[in-house]
Structure 1
Amino acid sequence: MDFAGWPLLALLAGPWGLGLLTALARMRDLPALEGVPARGAAPRVALCIPARNEGKDLGKALDSWLAQDLPGLRILVVDDGSTDGTPGILADRGARHAGRLRALRNDHLPAGWLGKNHALHLASQQPEALEAEWLLFADADVQAPPDLLRRAFAFLDEHPADLLALVPAVDTESFAERVFLPWAFLGFLVAIPFRRVPVPGAWAHCGIGAFTLVRRVAYDAVDGHAGAPMEAIDDMMLARRVKLAGFTNRVALGGPGLHLRMYHGLGDLVRAMRKNALAFPVLVPLVPLGLAGVLGASLAPVLLALAGHPGAGAALWAGVPAAMAVVHRRLTGRGPDWAWAFWPVNGFLMACGILWALGDRVRGVNHWRGREVRL
C-alpha cells in the first residue's frame, strides 16, 4: 500500500470532517424562538436602520417592520448620502407612517468614523431612541414577520439577556449567491460556539447585522457605536464590548421568518469581502497564509484525488453540500440546491476579495458602497 498521500489526507480531510461535524452540531444547538406569545406589556423599542443606496430592498424591508404588532416600536432610518431611490422610498413611507417612522438625511461623514457606524450612532441619539428601553439594529434589506419582536421578547422572558442576536435566513438568487453564501454560513457556524455565548467570562459572543437587540443601558455603558467608530465588523464587536462590560449576550434562530438578500450577484459578494476580509489589522501580515488556506481548503477534493485518495476526495466533495442541506433546511425551510456542487470555486472568490482588501489596506482605506474612508 502506498502511504505517500496519507499526510495530505490527514491535513485536508481531517479539518474538513471536524468542521462539518462542528457546524452540524452548532446548528442543532441554536435555539429557536417560540410560537406566537400572548399579548402583554409592550416595551419601547427604537429600530435603527442605516441606508446607503438601498433602493432595491428598502421598501419591502420597511413594510415588514411597519407591520410589526409591537405598539412600542419606533423606526429611525438614516439615509447616509444615498444617490438612488432610497430618499423617495423614505419620503413615501414617512408620509404614510409619520407616527412610527422617521427618516434622517446625513450627507457628511466626520473624520474617524465608518459610514454605517456613524449612521447608527446618529439614529441612537434621536429622541425616540433615547427614550427607548431597547435599541434594535438591523440592516436596510432585512424583512421580518409581524410577530417577530413579540416572539423575541418572549424568548428574553425565558432566557434573560441584554443583547440578543437573531440568525436570519439568507435569500439567494444569482448563481454566485447560491454557491457561496450557504457555504460561507458553515464557516460562521464553526466560528461561533452558540452554547458559550451566554456564559459569563467566555470568549464567545455574537452580534448580527440583520438583528441585534440591545438594552439601552447596556449600549450606553459601552459608549455605543461611538466607542468603536472605525470597527468594520460593528455588530460582532458591539456584542463583544457589551459582554466584556458584564452584560449577557444570547443568540437564537430568526429564520426562516427573518430573512434578507445580502448581496445582488457576484460583484456585490466580492465587494463585501473587500470591506470585511481584513477588518482586523493583525490579519494583514497573514494574507499569504490565508490565501493558501482558502485555496487549499476549496481544492481539497481535487488535491486528495491527485494524492491517491479519490474516494476521500469524492466523499468530501459530496459531504459539504450534504451538510449545507441540513443547515439550509433548518435556516430557510428550503431544500438543497444543485449549485452547491460547485462549492470548490468559492476559494477563488475569497482570494479575490482578500487581495482587493489587501490593496485597500496598503493604501490605508476602507471602501464600501462608493465611499472610501481613511483608516
Structure 2
Amino acid sequence: MTILLIMTIAFWTYALIDGWRGLKSIKALKEVQDHHSNQFVSIILAAKDEEKAIDQTLQSLINQTHEPFEIIAVNDRSQDQTGSIINKWAKSNPSRIKAIHIEVLPADWLGKNHALYQGTGTQKEMFYYSRMETFTFLTTLLTRPFHSLKRIKWTTFGFGFFKRPWTANKDYSNKGGMGIGAFNMLNRSTYEAIGTHKSFSLRPDDDLYLGQLVKSSGYRQRLVTGMDELSVEWYPSLSTAIKGLEKNTFAGLNYSYSLSFIAVSGTFISQVLPFVIFIVGSNDHRSLSAIAIFLMLALMVMTTRKLTHYHSLYALTLPYSALLFIYTIVRALTITIKNGGIEWRGTFYSLKDLRGKRKSTKQ
C-alpha cells in the first residue's frame, strides 16, 4: 500500500506541474488581440429533434456582429418541429440562413458527422482572420441538476490532465491537439486536406478527433477560453448526461477492453482510494493519502479556475465524481457489449463497424 500511495503522489506531482505549465498557455478570448476581418464565415450547425432549443440558437447566431456570414442549418432526420422552425427562419432570412433537410442516413456514417459534412458541401468558405488553420475555445456549460454539475466539474478536471488541451497551442509539436464540439472554426482548405468528415465518418468523438487530426497533419491551431462569449447547455439531467457520455467514453478508449480496465482501475486507485485510506487507513498511510489528496485537489482547483466559472469548492466532490465516471465507463462497456454497438439519437451503430472504421482512419 505504501508503494501504491507513493506512486499516486508521484503521478499527481507530475500532473500538477504539467497542468500548471500548460494552463498558462491558454488565454481568454478577450485577451487575444482583435483584428478586423471581412472574410466570409459559414456557420454550420446540425440539429436532430431540437425543437426546444433551435429557435433560440438561430436567434443568437443571427444577431452576431461579424460581417459577412451565413448560417447553414442542417435538420438531421428530426421527428419533431425542428425542421419547421429552421424553415421559418430560412424563409424570413433568405440571405442569411440556408436550410438543409436530411431524410436518410447513409451507411458508414454517424448522424451528426454526416449532417455537418452535408452542410460543408454548400458553404462558400470557412476562414478565421489569424494565421491559424483551426481555432476552438472552451465555453460555459450550462446545466440545472446538482449531480450533473458535479459531473461537469470532474469532466473538466479529467479533460485537463488526460487530454492536455494546451497541446493545441504548441506550434513546435504535431502531437495532441484539441477540438470542442460547441465551437470549431477552420479554413476550408484545411478541412479538405484532412479528408473532411469522410475520414472519420463513424467517430462519436468527432469534435476532439477533428482537432487532433488537424494537429497531427502539421497545421497550426489555437485553443482559448470563451466562457464570457459563448454558453451551451450540457445535458438537462444526470441520466441524459450518462447516456450521452456512453457514446464518447468507450470511443475515447478506442473500444478497447484493456484500456477500459486501465481507465477504471487507474481512476479508482488515483482518485478514490486515497480518500478511502485517509478515512480508514493507518496513520502513516493516512499521511501519504493526505499528500495525494492535496495534490489532486490543487490541480482540480487550478483547472476549474482556468477553464470554467464554477466555484473551486466543487473540488471537494472529487471522489463522488470519480465514482460516477467509473460507473459511466462500466455501464457503457456493458451496454455496448450486450447490444453489440451503441445507439445514439435513434440510430444503432454496430461495434464491428465502429472499430473497423476507426482502424481505417489510422491507416
Other structure's SS at 1:278 match: helix
Give the one of 307, 312, 315 matched to 2:281: 307
Residue pairs, 1:213-292, within 5 angstroms: 213-279=185-251, 280-281=253-254, 283-292=256-265
Other structure's SS at 1:231 match: coil
**Is 1:373 matched up with 2:323?**
no
Q: Deviations over 1:274-295 (max 9, x none)?
A: 1011115452333222221222
Q: Could you state the TM-score of these two structures normalised by the residue count of structure 1?
A: 0.82
Residue pairs, 1:70-109, within 5 angstroms: 70-109=66-105
Q: How far did 1:350 drift?
A: 1.9
Is the deviation greater in 315-324 or in 105-114?
315-324
Distance 1:322 1:38 in 2: 33
**Is 1:359 matched up with 2:334?**
yes
Distance 1:201 1:252 in 2: 18
Give the one of 110, 116, 121 matched to 1:120: 116
Residue pairs, 1:46-195, within 5 angstroms: 46-126=42-122, 129=123, 131-134=124-127, 153=129, 156=130, 160-190=131-161, 191-192=163-164, 194-195=166-167
- Gaps (5+ residues) in structure 1? 135-151
Q: How far did 1:38 drift?
A: 6.9
Alpha carbons of structure 1 residues 54 and 87: separation in structure 2 relative to 1, 3 Å: same
Q: Deviations over 1:39-59 (max 9, x none)?
A: 844111111111112234333
Other structure's SS at 1:199 match: coil
Q: How far did 1:271 drift?
A: 1.0
Alpha carbons of structure 1 residues 344 and 85: separation in structure 2 relative to 1, 3 Å: farther
Distance 2:255 2:120 in 1: 30
Distance 1:201 1:93 in 2: 43
Q: How far did 1:201 drift?
A: 4.5
Q: Could you state the TM-score of these two structures normalised by the residue count of structure 2?
A: 0.84
Alpha-carbon contact 1:22-1:189 (below 8 Å) kept: no
Alpha-carbon contact 1:297-1:347 (below 8 Å) kept: no
Alpha carbons of structure 1 residues 11 and 237: separation in structure 2 relative to 1, 3 Å: same
Alpha carbons of structure 1 residues 82 and 196: separation in structure 2 relative to 1, 3 Å: closer
Alpha carbons of structure 1 residues 198 and 266: separation in structure 2 relative to 1, 3 Å: same
Q: 1:145 aligns to what? A: none
- Gaps (5+ residues) in structure 2? 354-363
CA RMSD of aligned residues (A): 2.7
Alpha-carbon contact 2:168-2:215 (below 8 Å) kept: no
Alpha carbons of structure 1 residues 122 and 15: separation in structure 2 relative to 1, 3 Å: same
Distance 1:273 1:38 in 2: 36
Alpha carbons of structure 1 residues 116 and 198: separation in structure 2 relative to 1, 3 Å: same
Q: How far did 1:65 drift?
A: 1.4
Q: How far did 1:331 drift?
A: 3.4
Alpha-carbon contact 1:275-1:368 (below 8 Å) kept: yes
Other structure's SS at 2:250 match: coil
Distance 2:291 2:172 in 1: 39
Q: How far did 1:209 drift?
A: 0.8
Alpha carbons of structure 1 residues 307 and 22: separation in structure 2 relative to 1, 3 Å: farther
Distance 1:327 1:194 in 2: 12
Alpha carbons of structure 1 residues 103 and 181: separation in structure 2 relative to 1, 3 Å: same
Q: Deviations over 1:251-273 (max 9, x none)?
A: 22222322212112211221122
Q: Deviations over 1:346-366 (max 9, x none)?
A: 233222322232235434323
**Is 1:328 matched up with 2:299?**
no
Other structure's SS at 2:263 match: helix
Alpha-carbon contact 1:197-1:204 (below 8 Å) kept: no
Residue type of the alignment partner of 1:302: F
Distance 1:347 1:318 in 2: 16
Q: How far did 1:37 drift?
A: 7.0
Residue type of the alignment partner of 1:348: L
Task: Give aligned-pair identity as a percent.
Answer: 24
Distance 1:85 1:291 in 2: 40
Alpha-carbon contact 1:321-1:340 (below 8 Å) kept: yes
Other structure's SS at 1:367 match: strand
Q: How far did 1:332 drift?
A: 3.9
Q: 1:137 aligns to what? A: none
Residue type of the alignment partner of 1:232: P
